[in-house]
């Protein structure tokens, strides 16, 4: 077992190959836990919200339990469907412009973690998951870390 928590099969004796696997594991884990590390090309390919909408990447949760058990894709998909937290990828040009509703200013900005209603917004699939388009007033709160919110 390596120090990053990756179990490398015994048939991989080459140290360089093992280090490459460990690096790929660390990079995937970091990307998974921190959407701000998404490549700019990936974000550019996502839809630009129109009007007062906000594009959210729902929090996907951990890939393995605290005890080290790898969670199945089905379990993670179920959790992602039930999540109420997400990462703000983009904000539409008219979001938070209504002075009657938002006299105190924006409720969130790009790069924030937010909480929203379970059934809020429109969901659509992208490669590797799903994103949601929410109205600007469907954002309920901002949070520092989505892991602080208990999921399913």
pLDDT band at 112 (very low <50, low <70, confident <90, very high): very high
* 102 Cα distance to chain centroid: 26
Are 29 and 46 in a shared domain? no
* 115 Cα distance to chain centroid: 12
Mean residue pLDDT of the chain comes to 77
Are 22 and 8 in a shared domain? yes
Domain carrying residue 21 = 1-33
CATH number of the domain to which 103 belongs: 2.30.33.40
| Number of folded domains that form the chain | 2
Q: Mind listing the pLDDT tens digit for each residue in 79-101?
A: 666 678 899 999 999 999 999 99
pTM metric for this prediction = 0.68
Residues ≥6 apart with Cβ < 8 Å to 57: 35, 86, 87, 89, 129, 131
Highest mean pLDDT among 15-24, 64-73, 105-114: 105-114
In 3-state terms, what secondary structure has residue 98?
coil
Are 43 and 110 in a shared domain? yes
Are 101 and 143 in a shared domain? yes
């Amino acid at each position: 077992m390596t120090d990053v928590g990756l179990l490398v099969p015994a048939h991989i004796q080459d140290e360089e190959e093992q280090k490459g696997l460990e690096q790929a594991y660390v990079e995937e884990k970091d990307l998974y836990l921190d959407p701000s590390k998404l490549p700019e090309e990936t974000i550019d390919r996502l839809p630009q919200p129109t009007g007062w909408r906000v594009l959210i990447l729902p929090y996907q949760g951990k890939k393995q339990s605290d005890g080290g058990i790898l969670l199945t894709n089905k379990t993670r998909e179920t959790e992602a469907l039930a999540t109420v937290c997400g990462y703000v990828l983009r904000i539409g040009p008219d979001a938070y412009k209504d002075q009657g509703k938002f006299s105190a200013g924006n409720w969130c900005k790009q790069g924030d973690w937010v909480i929203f209603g379970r059934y809020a917004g429109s969901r659509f699939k992208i490669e590797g998951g799903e994103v949601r388009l929410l109205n600007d007033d469907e954002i309920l709160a901002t949070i520092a870390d989505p892991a602080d919110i208990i999921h399913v």
